[in-house]
């Protein structure tokens, strides 16, 4: 019998194992099934990735099923390390729980007497509500409301009330004095309690400017003044006063020009000066403001509300603003009726709440922003919090997307997972915690901490702003975070 080409092909595809030539077919026309797990065998282990990173210090991580909290992989899960700005995730939940998602901070202007022919017959009070987002432009809007109401001046005095929150001299005493991210906190906060310092070379000398700039307004201020010193170090030095901050800057550090934000140590005086300046631009004349301990009774003549708390929290997590975190934490503690008068007391209240409400057992916070290196959290507790009932729905939409990158640091066009998380960075501390949705649809909650506490302590003792090796450590930690996320997406992503 002769077999045609079509018949021969049909018999082979039909699984016939022998041919008309008397020989057995030794190679199946079907591809052999790959051994189970072959695709994941090439994924490096977590220990291999940590060893390759070569960071030194300690590395801890945990990843879990987001919906159930079932742990998938851990390393040093109960090692207590500084959370850095990842602490802001706990602060966000603390504030949302006690203030409410629709809470708005309110700044008011109160007249203690009637207005006659444009003059307030009494005092005019700028009453802060602790708004962490208030800026010079916001004070300008309040001044415009006064002008629209026909107010041109005051027969009494211009007063300032900041009692809505306790005054905190600075968030962390171990930071350099001139760190703009370590400001004073109070009930009247403007421009995150920072002043803009700008310098330009003019021949052999420099022109110096201190202002309260925003998008619309940028008035010069006198509450903070700076002069040049012939020293080489430190770059900035600060002399506190009752009415102004006196700064000096090292000539050797100025170069041809530049700008930076410096912290304001007299935020209430600063707010009063800025409001007086923008009010003058609206034709409203005010004298130098004086602080009052108690809020006077009177009629509200101008009002400014912040965005809803969800928006404030989202921006805090995105830009990692320390002042916002501290205000939210203090305001939440006050809303609980605790009457806290210091940052450590409020942070301790948040610690107790997180233990009871979120089951975070091995934690201690010294502030609400994570700036203080004495705060301690475990990755297991963070992942337990992130996977607690209702937390993902509340927190994940407020977290910023974190792009996944390849080995060269380029953003992946088709990443193995979509990541929304909070980053944290201190000298020799790098943290990341949040949610990752793998390409297969599985959602995971994770936390990754890397910290070299010995090198951090040495850097703090040296007192330099950017310690040698800190950037390299943090860069390596971020690459390790990316590698671990890639591992988990490939191994557990479904």
- CATH code at 254? 3.50.80.20
Lowest mean pLDDT among 55-69, 210-224, 231-245, 352-366: 231-245
The residue segments making up the domain with residue 202 are 105-306
* Same domain flag for 245 and 164: yes
Q: Residue 260 falls within a domain, yes or no?
A: yes
Average pLDDT (73-80) is 98
Asked if 466 and 414 count as a contact pair (C-beta separation under 8 A), the reply is: no
426-473 per-position pLDDT tens digit:
999 999 999 999 998 999 999 999 999 999 999 888 777 788 999 999
What is the pLDDT confidence band of residue 233, given thresholds at 50, 70 and 90? confident
Q: How far is 448 from 478, CA to CA, in rounded Å?
A: 10
Residue that finishes a domain, picked among 286, 306, 326? 306
Give the start-end residues of each E strand in 323-416.
400-401
Q: Residue 131 falls within a domain, yes or no?
A: yes
Proportion of the chain above pLDDT 90, given as a percent:
84
Helices (H), 178-284: 267-281
* Same domain flag for 385 and 480: yes
Q: How far is 18 from 84, CA to CA, in rounded Å?
A: 70
Average pLDDT, the chain: 91
Q: Which residues have CB under 8 Å from 200's CB, separation 6+?
A: 206, 207, 256, 257
User: Which one, of 427, 325, 415, lies nearest residue 373 by Cα?
Assistant: 427
Q: What pLDDT does 324 receive?
A: 98
Tokens found for residue 87: 């602490």
Q: What pLDDT does 159 receive?
A: 98
Q: How far is 311 from 317, CA to CA, in rounded Å?
A: 10
Q: What pLDDT does 31 receive?
A: 43
- Strand partners of residue 334: none
Q: Does the pLDDT of residue 150 top 50, yes or no?
A: yes
Q: How far is 236 from 221, CA to CA, in rounded Å?
A: 18
Q: Residue 365 falls within a domain, yes or no?
A: yes
pTM: 0.90
Q: Residue 5 falls within a domain, yes or no?
A: no
* Same domain flag for 397 and 451: yes
Tokens found for residue 73: 């992989």
Lowest mean pLDDT among 16-25, 131-140, 477-486: 16-25
Split into its structural domains, the chain has a count of 2
What is the pLDDT confidence band of residue 389, given thresholds at 50, 70 and 90? very high
Asked if 434 and 419 count as a contact pair (C-beta separation under 8 A), the reply is: yes
7-59 per-position pLDDT tens digit:
443 433 344 333 333 334 444 444 444 445 545 668 999 999 999 999 999 99
Q: What pLDDT does 37 receive?
A: 56
Q: What pLDDT does 39 receive?
A: 58
Q: What pLDDT does 29 receive?
A: 44
308-365 per-position pLDDT tens digit:
999 999 999 999 999 999 999 999 999 999 999 999 999 999 999 999 999 999 999 9
> Is the preceding peptide bond at 422 cis, omega within 30 degrees of 0?
no
CA quadruple 457, 463, 464, 466: dihedral, nearest 10:
30
* Same domain flag for 138 and 86: no
47-65 per-position pLDDT tens digit:
999 999 999 999 999 999 9
Q: How far is 246 from 262, CA to CA, in rounded Å?
A: 11
Residue with tokens 């210090």: 57
CA quadruple 480, 390, 86, 309: dihedral, nearest 10:
140
Q: Residue 425 falls within a domain, yes or no?
A: yes
* Same domain flag for 258 and 350: no
What is the pLDDT confidence band of residue 176, given thresholds at 50, 70 and 90? confident
Q: Residue 18 falls within a domain, yes or no?
A: no
Asked if 195 and 211 count as a contact pair (C-beta separation under 8 A), the reply is: yes
* Same domain flag for 399 and 431: yes
Q: Which phi and psi angles does 71 have, rounded to 5°?
A: -70, 135
First to last CA, the chain: 52
- What SS3 state is found at 394? helix
* Same domain flag for 320 and 467: yes
CA distances from 125 to 135, 298, 302 (A): 18, 9, 10
Asked if 114 and 461 count as a contact pair (C-beta separation under 8 A), the reply is: no
């Amino acid at each position: 019998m002769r077999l045609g080409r079509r018949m021969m092909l049909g018999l082979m595809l039909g699984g016939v194992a022998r041919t008309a030539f008397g020989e057995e077919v030794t190679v199946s026309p079907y591809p052999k099934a790959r051994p189970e797990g072959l695709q994941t065998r090439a994924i490096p282990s977590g220990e291999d990735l940590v060893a390759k990173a070569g960071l030194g210090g300690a590395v801890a991580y945990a990843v879990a099923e987001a919906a159930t909290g079932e742990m998938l992989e851990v390393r040093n899960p109960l090692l207590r390390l500084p959370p850095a700005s990842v602490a802001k995730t706990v602060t966000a939940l603390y504030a949302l729980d006690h203030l409410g998602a629709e809470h708005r901070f309110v700044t008011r202007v109160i007249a203690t007497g009637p207005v006659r022919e444009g003059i307030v017959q009494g005092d005019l009070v700028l009453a802060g509500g602790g708004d962490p987002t208030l800026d010079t432009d916001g004070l300008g809007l309040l001044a415009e409301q006064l002008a629209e109401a026909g107010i041109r001046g005051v027969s009494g005095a211009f007063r300032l009330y900041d009692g809505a929150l306790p005054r905190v001299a600075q968030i962390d005493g171990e930071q350099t004095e001139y760190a703009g991210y370590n400001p004073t906190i109070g009930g009247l906060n403007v421009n995150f309690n920072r002043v803009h310092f700008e310098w330009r070379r003019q021949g052999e000398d420099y022109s110096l400017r201190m202002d309260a700039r925003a998008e619309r307004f940028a008035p010069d201020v006198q509450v903070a003044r700076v002069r040049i010193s012939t020293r080489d170090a430190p770059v900035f030095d600060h002399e506190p006063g009752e009415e102004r901050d006196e700064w000096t800057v090292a000539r050797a550090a100025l170069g041809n020009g530049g700008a930076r934000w410096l912290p304001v140590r007299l935020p209430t005086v600063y707010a009063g000066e800025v409001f007086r300046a923008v009010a003058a631009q609206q034709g409203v004349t005010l004298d130098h403001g004086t602080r009052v301990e108690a809020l006077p009774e009177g009629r509200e003549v101008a009002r400014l509300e912040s965005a809803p708390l969800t928006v404030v929290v989202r921006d805090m997590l995105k830009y990692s603003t320390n002042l916002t975190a501290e205000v939210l934490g203090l305001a939440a503690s006050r809303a609980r009726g605790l009457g806290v008068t210091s940052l450590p007391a409020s942070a301790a209240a948040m610690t107790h709440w997180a233990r009871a409400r979120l089951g975070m057992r091995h934690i201690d916070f010294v502030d609400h922003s994570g700036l203080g290196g004495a705060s301690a959290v475990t990755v297991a507790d963070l992942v337990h919090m992130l996977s607690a009932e209702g937390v993902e729905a509340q927190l994940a939409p407020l977290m910023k997307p974190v792009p996944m990158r390849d080995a060269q640091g380029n953003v992946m066009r088709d990443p193995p997972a979509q990541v929304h998380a909070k980053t944290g960075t201190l000298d020799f501390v790098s943290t990341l915690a949040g949610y990752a949705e793998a390409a297969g649809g599985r959602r995971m909650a994770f936390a990754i901490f890397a910290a070299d506490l010995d090198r951090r302590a040495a850097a703090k003792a040296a007192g330099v702003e950017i310690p040698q090796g800190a950037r390299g450590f943090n860069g390596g930690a971020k690459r390790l975070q990316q590698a671990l996320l890639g591992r988990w997406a490939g191994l557990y992503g479904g």
